[in-house]
Structure 1
Amino acid sequence: MPPTRRLLIRAAFAAATLISAQAAGADPVTIRIGYAAIGVDNRPFAEGTSAATARAGNFVEDEFKGAPDIKVEWYFFKGAGPAVNEAIANNQLDFAYQGDLPSIIGRANGLKTKLLLASGAHKPTYIASPIDSVVASIKDLKGRKVAVQRGTNGHLSLIKVLEANGLAERDLQILNMDSATANAALAAKEIDAAVGDTGLISLAEKKLAKIVYTTKGDDPRFGRYAHVLVTEAFETAHPDLTQRVTNAFVRAAHWSSEEANRQELLELWGKSGTSTSVLAEFFAGETLKYRNTPLIDELFIDQYRQAAAKSKEFGLLRRDVDFNGWFETKYLDAAIKDLKLEGYWTPYDASGKPRAN
């Protein structure tokens, strides 16, 4: 064998050996995803959002099938958004589903995150009172004991609704309770009202409470806004994985937006322990596309800016929020293009009106 050819073969063998060694020595990656809620009786599932679909339907796990070095872990938080902030601060999460207010507070306090896509962006808020209560409207809440979990997007929604009705937090006796505690207190008639969603619908279905108000059908700016985020550290280290996780969430959003899947979707969310009848009521009268859009549109961005301003006005945070670079839509845009979903979801302008694609 000629010396030159022998050298080429040795070089090729050495290169192949090096590539094999690098592949074998590749560091495994665990993708840690947090969710700012938890199912009934602490079940590790949630409901009502495309992020909940991604979990219950294994969309993220399926994205990484055939990749043994990639592991996906989900964490659910009874303490909702504030607990997610703590986990991010302690470097315990890479991605998270979280509401507007806690994320804004985290941003103001220096948490380094990027918002990737909307999830549960048009989620309605419900207010309920005991079944035999004289409370029948928002204005009847004045001076009464009202339970809400502070620092959550439900808290911010309440503030907006009160303001629209000529009231403020100081006009109520606000009690800081997580949803399970508030629901139990309401059923026991220990409080005058509670702020929430499916848990309150469930109590009303059982004739243990009555719904006195919902943002559904009211000004869309009164509702709750939420998203999926990534930490800046993970995005910087793994932009390729960030894209693939975003792709998985967008697939979940698309599947969750198909009306043909409505019943199957409700049953999938039922893994959380919430009955399909309650979920059916929660989504009644609204399209799945509207409720499960992943778009970070003008309405979404304006609501976060308004939320920051109101949070400071009402003393929920002391610092200004820097929005520069926070909304990172390149991964969402790439996912929509790759999945051929351009024009599928309707964007909304800052006033809450549909905008042409």
Structure 2
Amino acid sequence: MVWTSRSRSRRSFLTMAGLGGLALLSGCGKGQDDGRVTIRIGYQKNGVFLLAKQRGAFDQALLKAGAAKVEWVEFASGPPLLEALAVGGIDLGGTGDTPPIFAQAAGAPLLYTAVQKLSGKAGGILTPANSGLTSIADVKGRKLAFTRGSSAHNQAVVALESAGLTLDDVQLVNLGPADAAAAFAQGDIDGWVIWDPYFTLALQQNNARVLLPGGSIGNGGAAYALAHRDFAAKHPGLLSAALDALAADGLWAEQNRGAMAELMAKETGLPLDLMRDTVERADFAYTPITQDVVAAQQAVADRFHRLGVIPTPIKIADAAWTGWKGA
């Protein structure tokens, strides 16, 4: 299989650990003169972490629990967020199921601390309306785009296996969401594995057609709240308070989807009707890490090792933090 990319190649976690830019951010739970700490949260412009940043209840809960300050750091996707976590640039952040597998395989000191179990409805595999593809089997020999190391990577593997195919049977195109959106609009790729809001935006604006809905790909997958191991060891009370607050924001989002859509539209600049559509399909609830959660994530990791995508096997249980029992 051959990977191509229009965007700058993502450096490995081990390489990033030596870079000065991220090194300037390092030092989990940055200390204050009064002995309290500043907690640094990594987020993307979607979901509960964005809501937590904007709504303000999260910050208030952390300050009440003893934090000196809460700082928010924005990332375009999960892999760079975990690159920052790997070198101590952030203490807590959220990604889909695949980025932490790549990070753990590269030795990142991360911990799974809470999970969002996903239906998979907020994404899937798209194809141009005039591509002629009618099933995932038709992607054989064609250009299939997704972000390497993202949750879409796992979805691509599972979808292809359902048709008796592997990654070697397609032309893999490694593109971030923005670059892939441009390539899709120009007709340069035949299939695109992607999540919302890009998924719905392509349906509405780029004459896309759903080749395989996300809800039919595996069990829907998961998203995780991930913490730096040192932060969890030094400040387990603050981490639990953060997860309590995150779960409360997730519950608020579940119960106030209209308001959540308005917030997302304001933050992303995307149309409100589009955000209403995506929010209706989204999953927001955070729950504790259990043995079943660990087993499901282990299956994903084993799949990537079997395919040679990660060089050595990893044990998810070694990175599972069960100190949070739920809000």
Please state whether the residue corresponding to 1:244 is helix, strand or coil.
helix
Q: Contact 2:147 / 2:153 at 8 angstroms: preserved in 1?
A: yes
Please state whether the residue corresponding to 1:31 is helix, strand or coil.
strand
* Aligned residue in 2 for 1:181: 179
Please state whether the residue corresponding to 2:173 is helix, strand or coil.
strand
* Aligned residue in 2 for 1:30: 38
1:69 to 1:126, Cα distance in 2 relative to 1, 3 A: closer
Please state whether the residue corresponding to 1:55 is helix, strand or coil.
helix
1:25 to 1:88, Cα distance in 2 relative to 1, 3 A: closer
Cα distance in 1 between the residues matched to 2:284 and 2:291: 16
* Aligned residue in 2 for 1:300: 293
Cα distance in 2 between the residues matched to 1:140 and 1:68: 56
Give the TM-score normalised by structure 1: 0.75
Q: Contact 1:50 / 1:120 at 8 angstroms: preserved in 2?
A: no
* Aligned residue in 1 for 2:200: 201
Unaligned regions of 5+ residues in structure 1, if any? Answer: 1-23, 38-45, 337-357
1:117 to 1:206, Cα distance in 2 relative to 1, 3 A: same
Aligned positions of 1:1-357 closer than 5 A: 25-35=33-43, 37=44, 46-47=45-46, 49-65=47-63, 70-78=68-76, 80-119=77-116, 121-124=118-121, 125-197=123-195, 198-216=197-215, 218=216, 221=219, 223-258=220-255, 261-270=256-265, 271-284=267-280, 291-295=283-287, 296-297=289-290, 299-331=292-324, 333=325, 335-336=326-327
Deviations 1:277-325 (A, max 9, x none): 22333354x5x6xx22212356533320110110101111111212334
Please state whether the residue corresponding to 1:126 is helix, strand or coil.
strand
Give the TM-score normalised by structure 2: 0.81
1:324 to 1:190, Cα distance in 2 relative to 1, 3 A: closer
Deviations 1:124-164 (A, max 9, x none): 43211223221232112111111110011111111011101
Query: How far is the alpha carbon of 1:82 from its aligned partner?
Result: 2.3
Query: How far is the alpha carbon of 1:208 from its aligned partner?
Result: 3.2
1:156 to 1:246, Cα distance in 2 relative to 1, 3 A: same
Kindly name which structure, 1 or 2, has the bigger radius of gyration based on alpha carbons.
Answer: 1
Equivalent pairs counted in the alignment come to 292
Q: Contact 2:65 / 2:241 at 8 angstroms: preserved in 1?
A: no
Deviations 1:176-200 (A, max 9, x none): 0000000011001111121112213
Unaligned regions of 5+ residues in structure 2, if any? Answer: 1-31
Q: Contact 1:154 / 1:224 at 8 angstroms: preserved in 2?
A: no
Query: How far is the alpha carbon of 1:89 from its aligned partner?
Result: 2.4
* Two-structure CA RMSD over aligned residues (Å): 2.3
